[in-house]
Each structure stands twice: as C-alpha cells, then as structure tokens.
Amino acid sequence: MSTQDSEQPKPYPVDPKEASPAGSQDSLQQAHSLKVDRGDDAQPLPLEPEAPPEKNTPRGEAESSPGQTESSVKALDTCPNCGASMRGSDTLLCLRCGFDLKTLKVIKTVTGEAAKVEQDEQDEQEDEEAPPISAPGRGELWLPGAVAIASLLILSIGYLSAAGGLFADADAIGVGMRLMGLLNVLVRTAVLSLAGLGGLFVLAHMLHKPLGDVKLAAVRMLGIVAAIALLTFINVEIPAWEWTFELTSQAVAFIGLGMAMFRLRVRDAATLLGVTVLAVVGLLMVSVLVLWAIVP
C-alpha cells in the first residue's frame, strides 16, 4: 500500500455559524421566538356559532312566543310602547298610545273609549254600501208625479166648486173665497213639500245614509203632501172632530206613504213626520216675524 493511500485527510472543526448561510440561523431563531400579541382582552375563538342578531320590529309591535301567557303580560307596570303607567297590573290597554297588551297591537282611542281600527273600517264600508233613502225604483218620477198632479187637480175642482168639508158654509162662499182657498192649499202644499225635503236631509244624516237623487226625493215628497191633502174633504158636523180626524188621518197617511216611497221603517217615517212638522212651525214663526217687521 502506498503512502498516499494510507494517509487520510484530517477533519477540521468547523463553526456552525460560519458553515450556515449568513443570517439563516438568526432568522430561524427569530421565527421560533416570534409571538403574536393579541392584547390583554384576547378571547379564544368560539367553538359554537353565534346566535342570529335580534330582529328589529317597528314601534308599537312586539314579538310574542307561543308560551307567553296573559299573566306575564299583566305583570307589566308600564307600557312597552310609550312607557306610560298602566294604572294597575290588571290593565291591558294603554290609554296614552292605545297599545293592547293582550293582542300586542296599537288600537285607536276616541274620547277615552277604544275602538279597533278593523271595526272602524268595517263600519265605514257598511255606511258606503248602505242604500240611499231616495233610491231609484217604485215608479221613478212618473208615479209620484202622477199622484201629485191628480191630487192637486181634485183639490182644485173641490175648491172651485165649494165642495163639502173644504168650507164651513159652502153656500155663502163666493168665487173670490174659492180662489183664495185654492191658492191657500197650493201654497200649503209647496211649504209642506219643502219642509219634508228638509226632513229627508235631516233623516239621512241621522241614519248615516246618503239621500240619493234630490229631484226624485222632491217629487216623491210632493206626491205625499198632495195625496194627504185630499183628506181635507172629510166632512163632520162638529168642527173640532173634523179637524181631529183630518190631522190624525193625515199623519197616518204621511207615515204610510213615506214607508212606501222611501222604504222607511215605521220609526224612521215617524221621525220624518216630526222633523217636517218642526220645520213647518219654524217657517211659520219666521214668516210672522218678517210680517211683524214689515207691517207697522
């Protein structure tokens, strides 16, 4: 064996810092010693999903679970809607804002009494759907017009001929008195018809119904007044009894014809008669005052 083969190279000590690339060891140590500062209030990540956010509900409405009982609602001392005092644990309605703790809805209050909005809307709808007092049908204009014309024609013939019942002493009545009587009945018919038409307006307001066709209502009222004027032909020897019979029969006829012409109930037709009489009395009082002011 040669000398060159037997000789082995001697290892030399090598410093790891020098053998490694520059800065690699320092970078490794810094990486191992690197820490993330999450602050003092750092909390571990939750393992369970977060609860969904609460749903925003508008003011005046509240979400209630099926298990919520009326006893828990009564335990509230203040209104959850406006914060006003409930005036006792048994109070279920806030008198300030109208919040109902039982239905969890805001209802409308009128003069301290609660009325639900749904009920008000239903009442308004019923009022709009209510038929008018002077509704079409039942002869329209020709039937009451024919009744009025026929009645006035009969009255004209009766006054011109001085028929019994129209005058106290028919034999002593001249032509002038007959014409004055005819004019009187025509004026009286016009005044009563106007007063009856005003009574129809008042009755429509009282019943919360529309009047309907004003022209048709005026013609029907004229027919009613002219028809009841025929009852003046009643002839009784005692004047007091004659006036009593005439007024009673005219009142009954007015109510009956009002029910037939305007589809009124007995009470409503009687109310119409009362309003008409009051209107006539008012017109007479105004006429007397005007005459008293004009005539010295």
Gap between the Cα atoms of 218 and 144, Å rounded:
10
Q: Give the pLDDT confidence of 153-212 residue by residue, as tens digits.
A: 999 998 888 887 787 766 677 888 889 988 999 999 999 999 999 999 999 999 888 988
Residue 10 domain flag: no
Residue 195 and residue 237 share a domain:
yes
With 0.85 as the threshold, say if the pTM is over it: no
Total domain count for the chain?
2
Same domain, yes or no: 100 and 182: no
Asked if residue 61 lies in contact with residue 74, where contact means CB atoms within 8 angstroms, the answer is no
205-220 pLDDT tens trace:
998 889 889 999 999 9
Based on the fold, state whether residues 206 and 94 are members of the same structural domain: no
- Cα angle 196, 280, 295; round to 5: 140
Question: Hey, what amino acid is at 226?
Answer: A
Q: List, for residues 76-122, the tens digit of each pLDDT value.
A: 677 878 877 776 666 677 877 877 877 777 776 554 444 444 555 55
Are 94 and 161 within one domain? Answer: no
Domain-located, residue 16:
no
**Structural domain of 278:** 142-294
Helix (H) / strand (E) element for 29: namely helix 24-33
| Domain presence at residue 275 | yes
**Is there a domain that residue 116 lies in?**
yes
- The answer on 253 and 180 residing in a single domain is yes
Q: What is the rounded CA–CA span in Å between residue 133 and residue 206? A: 12
Q: Are residues 201 and 268 in the same domain?
A: yes
- Span of 62-76, 131-145, 234-248 with lowest mean pLDDT: 62-76
8 burial level (CB within 10 Å; 0-12, 13-18, 19+): exposed
